[in-house]
Structures are given as structure tokens and as C-alpha cells.
Structure 1
Amino acid sequence: MAKHQTPLLDQLETGPWPSFVSDIKQEAAHRAANPDGVDYQIPVDCPSDLLGVLELSFKDKETHWKHGGIVGVFGYGGGVIGRYCDQPEMFPGVAHFHTVRLAQPSGKYYTADYLRGIMDIWDLRGSGLTNMHGSTGDIVLLGTTTPQLEEIFFDVTHKMNTDLGGSGGNLRTPADCLGQSRCEFACYDTQDLCHTLTNDYQDELHRPAFPYKFKFKFDGCPNGCVASIARSDFSVIGTWKSDIRIDQDRVKAYVAGEFKPGGGSHAGRDWGKFDIVKEVVDRCPTGCMSYDGAKLSIDNANCTRCMHCINTMPAAVKIGEETGASILLGAKAPILDGAQMSSLLVPFVVVEKPYDEIKEVIENIWDWWMEEGKNRERVGETMKRLSFQKLLEVTNIKAMPQHVKEPRSNPYIFFKEEEVPGGFEHDEAAYRQRHMR
């Protein structure tokens, strides 16, 4: 019999999708049936009491978790999120329920042995409950007690060669798509860049010194499989400079029905007879494509890299050969000033080891943000408050048309003295000489 009655939570199991409630119940039943299981180092009732406190929160319409304060492992300022229940007498199994974040491997590639090793540690020293993965990307281990934190840290670092992820006002664990390991659209090696910057910026990851969190995410192409443009302060999105490559014979094969659109998968959609004008040409957001019945043409100067034509006909239309990435800055969730997407900062950069050009942009941004950012202000909010022009100045990037978000609403342009050849006095004297008799 269940330790706590959970009629409200039970409703979450009635829908068509798998429920986290079922997962917690499964772990609670396992521990109840094997109370001495693996010599548990935290209360056996932890999963059961987690269900109980969540049911109470639903009933009371308020949380029963309180802020965890400062809790972590020696020498690290991040990686552990403290969590305590405000009803410890009623739910002793979750009086402590700290979350531990582990850095995920680039591309989230695992071996079965690795996952078993992590789970063995967590079954022994935690609740057995995990998130795979958190929104940042970490392996999230949900629920342990303060005395177990150093033990967990020792085990994951020494046995699994794995480090803690980021939390607090620091660099969060960088995340990337599968990149060139699996994807023909990838314009650069996302895994290598992600792994390199994770290693190079360990101090920024584990010892909080920023006004607030800072996230790297690396998308190999504009499809954005890790949604970096919406979910990261610093987005690196693969792109290309040269023309899109077109195999006209294969275009004809798509039109004739010899190739299935969408990469061979209908993805739940019945395309019917493929209409290239309807499905590709007319869907181009800039209208830069045309098809005359025999040849597909693209005005590459007006292509915005939306990827639709490439996704629809991947055998016939491919990314250009001169590849690199765009760097964007400032995406965030709606905490202080509303949600915002990242803004284009560097239209094109070649992504090659040792990535010095990218690191220079990163470090210039950090120097400025740490000096000018307010407490708990994301870099996108600092950028919005102090202007995109200021960001261009501190990163030594010249303004260009790609930076324009919308037409000017103010007709006045103010120059700085150093921007006027000879200075303001020289300019005024020249004006008087030209216009005053």
C-alpha cells in the first residue's frame, strides 16, 4: 500500500503520455520492496515522501520547498542546488532533497556501462530519480542529503571521470547538437568546440563570478536542434558563405516522385504528389527561389538560410561548401524583462582550432558584462539597457547591415568626437567656411 494517498497526482497518469508520477511511484515501490537494497545512504522513503509533498503542494496551491541556501562541495561554487522541504516532520524522506548537476558529454553520447555507473552511484547515495536532461543539458540527479554531496562528488569524478555542471552566477554547462558526427547539415564540429570551451573555461563554470547565469549552446546548422537562438546567452549557429549546391538531376527526381521529400520520412504527413513550387519555391521566406519546369534557381544573395529547401529535398539541395558559424548574443527566458531571442553579433566566423577568434569575442563580452551588469541581470538585458552599439564597441566589431533589427525611429544621429576627422572644432570650422559668407 502506498505511504501517501495522491488523488491529485494520480490524474497526471491518465493522459496519453508517460508521466513522471508513474516513474516516481515505480522507484518508491522498488525501494519499499527492497528496503535494504543497496545499503541506501539516504532515507528509503525518499521517493514516497516526494510524492506526498507534491500532493500537498497541489492541494495547498503553494510550494513546500524552501530555498536551499549555500550548499555544495568543497572548492566549487556551483553544481549543487540546495533544496529543503518546509514540512520535514511530515515528510522526513525529503527533509533534504538537493539536486546535483553533472556535465553531459558533447552531443550526449553515452555508453551503457557509463550510465550504469552513474545510476549505481545514485541508487546508493541519492533518490534514484534523474532528469535526462535538464534544460541546460546536464545530467540532473534529483534528491540527496547534505552529507552525501562530497561522497557523490568523489565517486563521479574518480570512478566516472565526470565533473559537476554549472549553477548560480556562472558559466552553465555548454551544450551542443550531434554536429558532424551524425548530421550532413552541420557546418562545423560542434562537439569539439563545445568540449574545448568546456575545458578551457572550467574556472568560470565552477566558481561563480558573473552577475547571473551565462549559457553557451552550439547548433551545427540553422535548423537549431538545441534551440541556441532562444535558450542561450551565447549562440554559435552553423552557416555558410558560398552558394547552396543544387543537383538538378535529383531535383527532377523529386518532382518525378523517385525520391520521397523530407529526407525519405513522411514524418506523419501524406505529401501526396510532390509539388516543388507549392512545397519549396512558394514557401521560401524571401522569395529567392524559382523553378521553370526543368531547373531550380536560387538567388543566394537573398537567402536567409532558413533550411526549408534543404530539409525538404536533402538529396538534391545541400549547404554551401564555405562553412562557418554566426555568433548571436542575449537570448533568455522571461525573468525580468520578458523573453527575448538572441541578436546577431558576428555574421560569419570560420570555426577552426584553437578557436581564438571566438574566445576573443567571449572574453570581451565577459569583461564588459562583469563590469556593467547589475545583479541577476542576464547579458541580454545588459545589452538592451546599455545599447547594442555599446556591445559592438566593447567587442571591437564594426556595425554592419546585418546588425539592423528595425528601421530607425529617431532621425537624429549623434557622433562622438573621435568619429569626426579632425574633431568637432575642425568640423565646425569647415562648415562655417563652406556656408557662411
Structure 2
Amino acid sequence: MLCHTLDLARLNYSVDNPRDLCASLDNWPRLSLAQALDSALILSGTNVMRLIFHLRAHITDERLIFAAERCPMLKRLVLPAWNHTSANGFCAAIQKLEELSIQAFEARSSNLFLVNNWHSVRRISQLVLKREHAFIDTLGLGCLETPAKVRQSFLVVPHELHFQVVHYFLKEHIRRTPDYKVIVFCTTGMVTSLMYMLLREMKMNVREMHSRKPQLYRARVSDEFKESKRSILVTSDVSARGMNYPDVTLVIQAGIPADREQYIHRLGRTGREGKDGEGILLLAPWEEYFLNELEDLPLDKLPLPNVDRETKLKVEDSMSKIDSSVKEAAYHAWLGYYNSIREIGRDKTTLVELANRFSESIGLQRPPHLFRKTALKMGLKDIPGIRIRA
């Protein structure tokens, strides 16, 4: 079967007819999309001249390179948003195409659309675009601003107290705001799950959202939160952009955001349509350097809240009821996240000490083991305090 155009932005692949047009692939699980890509490329032989991915598809390095190898006649390639692939896979695929079809590919016309920092994709731009390419800024450097009517504040407090402090701020906000609607951003999906379970144990009206949840679940929770009042959404950065939740009264960011831009996008979930809002950034002392990125923003420093002994005991008791597997997954995710942040992850010994204090604060008797391969990949194999699975 010959197929010159393989449009995976619209294709709902079936064995009988790989060109059946149906619904978009937004809600497909990644495995199904991978199977569709592999099967369609095999069935089409080497005849594909136009290969189009959905903007939001997630493609692994291996399948991107496989696609390049199967398409030596390719003249048009539309890839997903660059942050849904890896830089290594993206570049390897482009290089493979250049090796296989130099004349056709050298005559290509390339457009690279970015929503992120230009410098973060410079390597890709140098490979994909011609040397004399034009850079068009449609936003302008000063356009990414925080909402004018949002009160911004920050608090620096030991990391092991973050769960208690988040609970304190939520209780205070609920007391002051009858129709409260709060979003709590956490650093990773598994830390999000841990925060959600803790607040649920403490009888709060809370919902959970992160990338490890199925798309249908996320869509349902998103719709529920849009329509709700007096509710709390605990989420990872999947809710930082492109989500319009009306009437959000408070955004709490627990832990350092990936960058200044992410801080602003998270904060932008409140204060929409000219309404008032409030944002609180919660940092550990070793995350305080991040405030330098926000020095031009109107942040006020909050005093350390007085969390009473009864609340502390209640948080500890609720944490003790959460399954240890959830805590272990949160530890692994926490370690991976902060290891990836250059300012924190470059000192591996200190990083492990901080991770093990986090482990203790969530009620684990000992830090969980890492697989040897994981420890090697993270540069942690011989660091004191890291436990390697036998």
C-alpha cells in the first residue's frame, strides 16, 4: 500500500485502511500513537513524502529516528511542539534525513515556532534553520507580565515544613474567602499525588491533576474544577498554561518553579479578566536564589506563620496514613527534579542530604533505594546517603 502523505494529526489508524480520517489524536495514549506510526510507516514502504505529526503528540527519540529512516523521499516534515520531543531525538532525526536525502532536504523550507525561551532551543535552530534565518518576536520582551491585580508574596521556610505551611495558608484563605477556589502547584507529578492525598486525608475538598493521570481523567477533573466553587486543585505544571479556570482566588507554588516564565504562567491562573487574585511562592532556604529572577516583580515577604502544635500533629498523622509506595515515588521524583536544576543539582552531596531530609519529613524510615542504572544516570552512584538496589 502506497501512502505519500501520512497525516498523523488527523489519522485514526486501522489495519484495514491506514488513511481513514477520523478524530484527532489529542486523546490517544502514547502507545497507540506509537503503534500507529510504526505500522503506517511499514505499510507505506519508503514512499512517504509528507509526514505530519499532531502538535501535542509525544514522540520518543527512537521512533523519531525510525521515522526518518523509513522516509528517504521526505520533502515535508511537520513535527510536534519541540518540547514534546527531546533535543537529541529531534537533531538525530534531522541529521538522519540529511544523510538519506541530501538534495531534497537541503532545498527544504523550515519554520520553527517557539513558545519557550529562544536560547533553550539554539542547538535545534542551528541545525534546522538556514544560517541567514530571520527571527521574529511576536510577543516582545516585556509582554510576559504578571496580572496587575494579583497580590504576590513569598515565604522562605525549611522544606520539611512545606506541607504544614501549605495547609496553614489553605485554612486561612478558606476562613477569609467564602467562595474560595485555589490551585496548588507542586514540583512533580508524584509530589502532587502526595500533596493531594495529604490534603484529602485532612478532609479538604481537593482534586488532583498531573501528567501521569489518563487524559480522560484530566479532562473530567478540569471540567469539574471549572464549574466548582470552594474547591482546591493540586496540580503539576500541566495546569500552568492553556487552562482557563474562572474565579481562582489563590495560587500557591510549593517549591521552586522551573524558571521565571513558569512562575508567571502559574500565577496567571488567578486574577483573570481583571479580577483580584493572590499568589504565594513557597521556597526552601536553598531555593531562595530564585528570587533574583523575580526582583522586578512586586513580591512581598510574608512572616513565618505560627503553626500550632495540634495542626502539626494532625499533618503528621495524616501523612502516616498514606501508603509508603506513594511516598517512595515522591522521593524519587523529588530527587530527579532537583537534580535537573543546575544551581541545586551540581552539588550532589548536598542534594542527597536535602533529599533524605525530605524523605524523613514525609514519614519514611529510610530513603528509598535507587536502581543502579538510575543512580549512574543521575550522577549519584557513589554519593553518601544514596541507597542502591541490590
Is the TM-score greater than 0.5?
Answer: no
Work out which of the two has the higher radius of gyration on C-alpha atoms and give 1 or 2: 1
Q: TM-score range by the shorter chain?
A: under 0.3
TM-score (norm 1): 0.25
Provide the TM-score with structure 2 as the length reference: 0.27
